[in-house]
Amino acid sequence: MATAKQPTQKGGRQYHIACRRGDLAGYVLLPGDPGRVEKVGKNWDDYKTIANHREYHSITGHYKSTKISCLSTGIGSPSAVIALEEAARIGVHTFIRIGSTGALQKEIKPGDFVINFAALRKEGTSKQYIWSEYPAVASYEVTLALIEACEKLKVRYHLGVGVSADSFYVGEGRPGFKGYWQSKFKYILNDLAQAKITNVEMEASALFTVANLYNLRAGAICVVFDNLITDEFKIVGEKKLGLIASEAVDILHKWDIIKKKKKKKYFYPTLIK
């Protein structure tokens, strides 16, 4: 029965994502844009639409031997964590954020891919859950699977610590409406670059933080659309992004089978020898 503390829709569907147990696979890709969901599905052997409610569009299908889902989250950490919260309630255990990002290191070019193994928490959502000192760290297994997928598909990628912001404009060093600006914005990008932050986006740190609190796995890979240091901009690599993440899920699934067969809790390289 639905209550204010546990709101659900008719038939046990989750209040925001409109999915119920069995609708989503254990492995879910999380793009922000609902329009990217079908593009991701075109990499798969088959898929069907599950729900389309608010910013949450979901599909489930198969990539190679693995059942997989894709669920859009909209823009920003609040809606992304709602997706994680409700998907976890119906059995999802592994989340991979996929999306676009702005690079903060000169050598990272539009069309490159960035895998974040950790993120600086400049968003506010995760701070509703735990102290700001708590680290936002990706699952090492998801990170390793993403690296292997990039190597397998021979794409140019980078590995590093990202930053998740709450504002696409002033929070990422862009002028606001009518050139709105404050002195504190002037050095934000260079300061982040000096700290060896690879890229900025808007969801990863919250997903990493909450997933760790719930003993779930989360990771992130983004395609670079712009470099905020060199001022380059090009929309490229979106289709390949979905393929890389799908390949990573298939790799993870195989590793999970091996772990279960060998009664191991954690994956390590010699398990596959």
- Tokens 């709105």 correspond to what residue? 180
Mean pLDDT confidence for 83-106: 98
Asked whether the CA dihedral 258, 260, 263, 268 is positive or negative, the reply is positive
pLDDT for 1 beyond 80: no
Helix (H, G, I), strand (E, B) or coil at 82: helix
Model pLDDT for residues 139-157, shown as the tens digit of each residue:
999 999 999 999 999 999 9
For residue 48, the tally of other CB atoms under 10 A from its CB is 10
Residue type, 7: P
Mean pLDDT confidence for 191-214: 98
Nearest by Cα to 73 from 169, 222, 203: 203
- Tokens 């140019």 correspond to what residue? 156
pLDDT band per the 50, 70, 90 thresholds, residue 165: very high
- Look up residue 40 and give its two tokens: 């991701």
Question: For residue 11, what pLDDT is reported?
Answer: 86
Mean pLDDT confidence for 173-177: 94
Going through the chain in order, the beta strands assigned E by DSSP cover: 27-31, 46-53, 56-63, 66-71, 94-103, 113-122, 136-137, 157-165, 199-201, 217-227, 232-233
pLDDT for 35 beyond 80: yes
Percent of the chain at pLDDT above 90? Answer: 93
CATH architecture of 13-261: 3-Layer(aba) Sandwich (3.40)
Model pLDDT for residues 100-140, shown as the tens digit of each residue:
999 999 999 999 999 999 999 999 999 999 999 999 999 99
Residue type, 78: P
Percent of the chain at pLDDT above 70? Answer: 100
Question: For residue 83, what pLDDT is reported?
Answer: 98
